[in-house]
Chains A and B, each alone.
Chain A
């Protein structure tokens, strides 16, 4: 574990759409896997073996390097009781830790409230992508949400650098403190100043950044680079979040080529991310977590797979104790979740609890809504 939890940084890459866990961490010697995946099964000789039973998708060689270093934790059979097969609902459950009722506050929003109760740093949390995932949402917690770090800021529609600088100057004066304008306008103006401050600081990140690493020109590549740039700029950002293109992992059809390109993209750019941080000696306090809202159906549908239940998740970091955590869900019909799905054997809130307690130094129970046995991967 890093020396001080006060400095630890937590990054998330959300694999939106429901990643097919069965073809990500593959039970390649299981005869049932062959029976259930006549069309989409990955041949045993193509799998990257982790042990005699399980292996990674052939595109995941870059991630396997972390396994070899003992810095990749793989969470097997991860999910929650009574799975929802709706993308939105299931993602909400992962975001809010509320499987039975509709939750409002995100788990990382609540974490940020604990980390920085006075919101003294407007960049404690930064999201890359348009719109805020509910994981980061909590009233009174400012989170910058950045569509593109290179162009992020206010009044980006104004062409010409001089005109924009002048307009921002006018903006700052218009949003300056005033008296007697009513609560709502006063509130909006102070929020505007927050936003301007956050944007001004963030805008300096790309210029400070220099690296020999070249990320892919994909969404994941671009945002993993942005996360590295923000971390390397030392703004005191503790929570960094991004999401793969919306529902990209929703491989109902043509899964074989799609899944190949999705995992090539993720693996290569996670490797790039740590290479980049290591080049700058800034990887020690960073933990990266990857998850998806659910896994997919055990039986393939000919060219793809439909929404399923338990899946896999990953943690990468210098202080991660590499290995397999949990047990791989049984493929036997009698052991399956209703509807032909994998039954979860590990609650995601166990992993969250570990991260909150052992990485961020926060009391997990109020955030995840109860006590969950920790997974000792940190």
Chain B
């Protein structure tokens, strides 16, 4: 049976980050759970990701317009950023505040948006909504650039309420009416970009947000029962004090960090899986004046999060699958080498085209990540990398197994491998099938060179089969 401290720490690092190597999990477990949570919550206490090497080898990275380059840079951050929770929160916001390259058509703007989520994603929610509403990419993506005092476009006004803050409803009631959508959209008229039009056909040029008072509808509006000559910022202030906003954020945090929830459109009629934790998160939101970090602290230190039943209760997203595997096997960590580009395309093959969500509603998550095509991609990718016994992380796992004794029974061997790939939670059937397979090879030894080579081969093979399990699809 796996060491419970190790299992808990592996769980924390999978959820609050993109996983960790076995050595890292052990080191962090030695530091203690609460200390590790605090380190995650205070990214400035950790070194920043080292971009110097990346820039030296890829001098165009900062200015590059190509979307592929920006996706590759983001994956490099996921794998290498010592501030793992910060990086995880960038993904969290990207999956809620959806804007896609298919319309924005500028890798640089998409990269800027992710940088904003990284930098401010653990700060104040009101501040974040202001940054979102002044993001040129978002203003363009949701047509606010097409919304004028004399010709209203409600797209951003609606999605800000429905998908970015209040949600459609809670506890079976509706959170806003159509009149609120209209008032919200009117308050955001004049919030647009310079240059005003997509930079076609004259080549791309960087956009900046521009507030145009002449195009702003300054008349009186009634929004969620409050009347005044509201501008966009007033609307955000009203949004942030709504209990619905606290509920919406709390459910999203639960869904992303604790366990797969029902799809968002069902939230009005389906109560949260864990009302107690959601209420605690809501309280943290209001007590702190809309700060996200105290919500995260409440979440990671809650019994619900730490309970063994929360482990492997979520299906890994493709980004988590790819980044965590690289962190586990120790490839592309603090080194620039060929091959990262190909790996950065893998999430797309698995159904998650990063920086290009299918719609503003984002990806369908949970078991909907999996279909027969994406499952083949996931299994083959994971088993290929976990089977590379010369990768530093895999080699380390094998050395640790060898250190468990001069001889390992097939049962000990299977148990050890399950533990090494992340204290996996496997069903009895899977365990018995793997033991039956291991028994055919008999006991494992590593006294001679030949035995060591065979031990290594069998470890690689067992890791590959574990990567192929249904259980490995969970985080």
Contacts and interface: CB of A to CB of B under 8 A. Distances in A.
Given A130-B345, A144-B372, A307-B201, A188 B470 contact: yes
Interface string B376-407: 11011001110100000000000000000000
A191 interface: yes
Contacts of B49: none
B441 to A, nearest CB: 10
Contacts of B360: 102
A326 to B, nearest CB: 25
A157 interface: yes
Contacts of B385: 157
A174 B383 contact: no
Contacts of B366: 184
A127 B374 CA distance: 13
A139 B368 contact: yes
Q: How large is the interface on B (under 10, 10 to 19, 20 to 34, 35 or more residues)?
A: 35 or more
B113 to A, nearest CB: 16
A171 interface: yes
Identify whether the interface residues of B are mostly helix, strand, loop, or mixed: helix
B469 interface: yes
Interface in B87-111: 100-103, 105
Nearest to A92: B102
B380 A184 contact: no
B348 interface: yes
A88 B366 CA distance: 26
Interface stretch (A11-19, A162-170, A223-231, A351-359): A162-170
B371 A155 contact: no
Contacts of A194: 372
A198 B374 CA distance: 13
A167 B260 contact: no
Nearest to A129: B349
A144 B383 contact: no
A154 B465 contact: no
A187 B366 CA distance: 11
B465 A170 contact: yes
Contact of B260 (A143, A170, A184): A184
A170 B437 contact: yes
B370 interface: yes
Given A174-B470, A307-B200, A155 B380 contact: yes
Interface stretch (A36-44, A47-55, A175-183, A266-274): A175-183
A170 B434 contact: yes
A163 B103 contact: no
Given A154-B379, A158-B464, A181-B427, A306 B372 contact: no
Nearest to B383: A157
Contacts of A187: 367, 370
Interface string B257-285: 00010000000000000000000000000
Nearest to A179: B429
B465 A85 contact: no
A185 interface: yes
Contacts of B470: 174-175, 185, 188-189, 192
Nearest to B101: A88
B162 interface: no
Given A154-B468, A174-B433, A132 B373 contact: yes
A104 B100 CA distance: 13
Interface in B344-382: 345, 348-349, 351, 353, 356, 358-360, 364, 366-368, 370-373, 375-377, 379-380
B286 to A, nearest CB: 33
Contact of B201 (A85, A170, A188): A85
A167 B461 contact: yes
Nearest to B106: A86
Contacts of B429: 174, 176, 178
A168 to B, nearest CB: 9
B372 A198 contact: yes
Nearest to B428: A178
Contacts of B464: 155, 157-158, 167
B430 interface: yes
Contact of B384 (A144, A153, A157): A157
B82 to A, nearest CB: 30
A157 B372 contact: no
A142 interface: yes
Contact of A142 (B356, B371, B430, B471): B371
Nearest to B351: A132
Contacts of B356: 88
B189 interface: no
A174 B469 contact: yes
Contacts of A143: 371-373
Contacts of A102: 100, 102-103, 358-360
A134 B376 CA distance: 18
Most buried by B among A85, A89, A139, A191: A191
8 contacts: A131-B349, A144-B373, A154-B379, A155-B379, A178-B427, A188-B375, A191-B372, A306-B201
* Closest 7 pairs between A and B when the two form their complex, measured CB to CB: A157-B384, A88-B102, A145-B373, A86-B105, A195-B372, A188-B470, A184-B367
Given A143-B372, A185-B471, 9 more contacts: A131-B348, A131-B353, A131-B377, A155-B383, A173-B433, A174-B430, A191-B370, A199-B376, A339-B200
Interface of A: 85-89, 92, 102, 104, 122, 127, 130-132, 134, 139, 142-145, 153-158, 163, 166-167, 170-171, 173-176, 178, 181, 183-185, 187-189, 191-192, 194-195, 198-199, 297, 306-307, 339-340
Interface of B: 100-103, 105, 200-201, 260, 315, 345, 348-349, 351, 353, 356, 358-360, 364, 366-368, 370-373, 375-377, 379-380, 383-385, 387, 427, 429-430, 433-434, 437, 461, 464-465, 468-471, 473-474
